[in-house]
Amino acid sequence: MSQFRRLRDAAIAILLLALPFFVLNANLREPGRDNFYDGPILELSAPIQSLAASVARAVSDFFDDYVYLIEVRQENDRLRARLARLDQEHEQLTAEALENRRLRSLLSLRERVGGQVIAATVIGRDVSPFFRVTRVEVDRGERDHVREGMPVVSARGLVGQIRRTWGRYSDVLLAVDAGSAVDVIVQRTGSRGMLRGTGEDDRYMSRIEYLGRDDEVRVGDLVHTSGLGQRFPASILVGRITRIVRADSGMFQEVEVAPAVDFSTLDEVLVLEGGSRAEARAETDEDEPLTGEP
C-alpha cells in the first residue's frame, strides 16, 4: 500500500511538472503544426489562463490604485499647505491694504485740517458692562508736547479731546462722553448748536443743545464741527442725526446724533496741536472777536 502511494505521488509530481511544459509548448507552436494533444491541452488550459490573467490584472489594478491614492494624498497635502500659505498671504495683504487706507485717510485729513499734528496709536480702552468703549489711551503725552484739551480726530471724524497727559501717554475724552461739549453745525442747513455726549453705558450717542425749534433738520443730516470756540477745526465730521423730538412748548428741539467714529475699532488718531483755524485767524485779526466754547 505504501509502495502504491509513493508511485502515485511520483506520477502526480511528474504530471504537474510536465503539464506547464505541454501547455507552453502548445501555445507557442505555430498554427498548422499542432499535435493531436495540443487542442485538448489548449482547451483545458484556457479557463485557467483566463482566471490567472484576471487575478493578475486585479492585483495590478489594486497596486496601481494604491500607488495612485498615495500620490493623490501627497498632492492634496501639498495643495492644502499651499492654500494655507496663500490664505495667510491674502490676510496679510488685506490687513496691509486696510492699514494703508487708514493712513492715507489720516494723511488726507492732516492736509485738510492744516497746522501741526501729532500722530498717535490707541494702546488701551476702558469698556462698560455693555461692551461700550468709555475711554481710550494713546501713546503720546506731555513729553510729545500733547496738552489737555487738544482735539483728537481719526480718518472717520471727531474722536474727542485730550483729557489728561502723563509722560508719553494720554487719556482721551470721547465726543460721546457726558463731559464733552463741541460747537457743531448741520451741514445741509447751516443750523448751529452745542453737541454734548450722553455718556450712556449701552450705546454711543450725543445730543445737540440750543438748536432752535424753527431750525430745519431731519434724520440723516450730517453734523460737522463749526470751528468756533478756538479749539476744534471746522468741517470735521462728528456724526449723523438719528432722532428728532420737537416738544409742544419750548424754544429748542431735541436732536440725537450717532457718532461717525466706531470707538471700538480705533487704531490710529491725530492730535491737533494748533486748535481750530479760527484761532489762527484770531492772531492776525484781533478786531474780529471769536465766540468761546461754553
Phi, psi of 166, deg, nearest 5 = -160, 130
CA 79 – CA 226 distance, rounded (Å) = 57
Pseudo-torsion of CA 89, 91, 96, 102, nearest 10°?
A: 170
The answer for 167, left when phi > 0, alpha when psi is -120 to 50, beta otherwise, is left
Could you report the per-residue pLDDT of 125-162, keeping only the tens digit for each?
A: 999 888 899 999 999 999 999 999 999 998 889 999 99
pLDDT for 263 beyond 90:
yes
The cell numbers describing 147, all together, are 496738552
Q: How confident is the model at residue 279 (pLDDT cuts 50, 70, 90)?
A: very low
Domains of the chain, earliest start first: 1-113 (no CATH), 115-284 (2.40.10.340)
Overall pTM surpassing 0.75 (yes/no): no
pLDDT for 197 beyond 80:
yes
Pseudo-torsion of CA 107, 231, 239, 157, nearest 10°?
A: 10
Handedness of CA 212, 213, 214, 218 (dihedral sign): positive
The cell numbers describing 213, all together, are 425749534
Q: Average pLDDT, whole number, for the chain?
A: 80
Pairing of strands 181-186, 192-197: antiparallel
